[in-house]
Amino acid sequence: MKIGVYGGTFDPIHHGHLILAREARELFGLEKVILVPAAASPFKSSPAASAQVRLAMLRAAIEDEPGFELDDCELHRPPPSYTIDTIEDIRNRQCDAQIYYLIGEDNLPTLQKWHRLDELTQAVQFIVLDRTGAPPDHPYPIVHRKIDISATEIRKRVASGKSIRYFVPQAVEEIIRRDKIYQEQPK
């Protein structure tokens, strides 16, 4: 069985994440893609939304998507969230799976600093999700899809009172509005 694991802060999950995950699933014949929200990334500032709200947004975003699953294992461990720990956890439950780790192209510059990278590269095959369309300068298989949507932009749009319709699934937008998250301008 071939599975994809897609980790990130998902602050918030948006159509760019979902489109790239689906594209990777189709291109590489993945039986499923497991989305794993990070408690806290070692290389990013703390998420603006709480873990519970990000989890609710992820659940809402993939509710009717049979090829996507949610795994909150990182939220049950103390931060920071290390990918190798997550992969070992998933491997213990899916011992027969061939694991592909979906990584955003914007995370490649810090890849060499990832915790226990040598073990991670033995445990997974990286698939790079590229939203820019720039020529690759890495050896990994790639999913190219030019998508100009970012969580940072979505948070800024919410804080400034602009619409985020079509940036995120409607159910995610409803959670953002209901819980009044991202209302303050980022510092």
Residues 138, 144, 145: CA angle, nearest 5 degrees? 145
Helix axes of 170-179 and 51-62: crossing angle, nearest 10 degrees: 150
Instruction: Give me the mean pLDDT over the 127-154 stretch.
Output: 92
The answer to whether residues 137 and 42 touch, using CB atoms and an 8 Å cutoff, is no
Q: Is 171 exposed, middle or buried, given 0-12, 13-18 or 19+ CB atoms closer than 10 A?
A: middle
The residue type at 125: Q
Q: At 136, which CATH number?
A: 3.40.50.620
Q: With 80 as the cut, is the pLDDT of residue 185 above it?
A: no
Q: Is residue 9 part of a domain?
A: yes
Report the number of secondary-structure helices (H) and strands (E) in the chain. Answer: 6, 6
Q: Is residue 41 part of a domain?
A: yes
Cis upstream peptide for 80 (omega within 30°) = yes
Q: Is residue 6 part of a domain?
A: yes
Instruction: Give me the mean pLDDT over the 36-42 stretch.
Output: 88
Question: What would the pLDDT profile of 64-90 be if each residue is shown by its tens digit?
Answer: 999 999 999 999 998 888 999 999 999
Find the distance separating the first CA and the last CA of the chain, reported in whole Å. 44
How many structural domains does the chain have? Answer: 1
Domain that holds residue 74: 2-148
- In angstroms, rounded to a whole number, what is the distance separating the alpha carbons of residues 68 and 23? 12
Q: What's the confidence (pLDDT) of residue 175?
A: 98
Q: Is residue 88 part of a domain?
A: yes
Q: Is residue 179 part of a domain?
A: no
Q: Is residue 186 part of a domain?
A: no
Q: Is residue 20 part of a domain?
A: yes
- In angstroms, rounded to a whole number, what is the distance separating the alpha carbons of residues 181 and 187? 15
Q: Is residue 177 part of a domain?
A: no
3-state secondary structure of 59: helix
- In angstroms, rounded to a whole number, what is the distance separating the alpha carbons of residues 28 and 115? 26
- In angstroms, rounded to a whole number, what is the distance separating the alpha carbons of residues 8 and 151? 11
Q: What's the confidence (pLDDT) of residue 42?
A: 80
- In angstroms, rounded to a whole number, what is the distance separating the alpha carbons of residues 140 and 59? 29
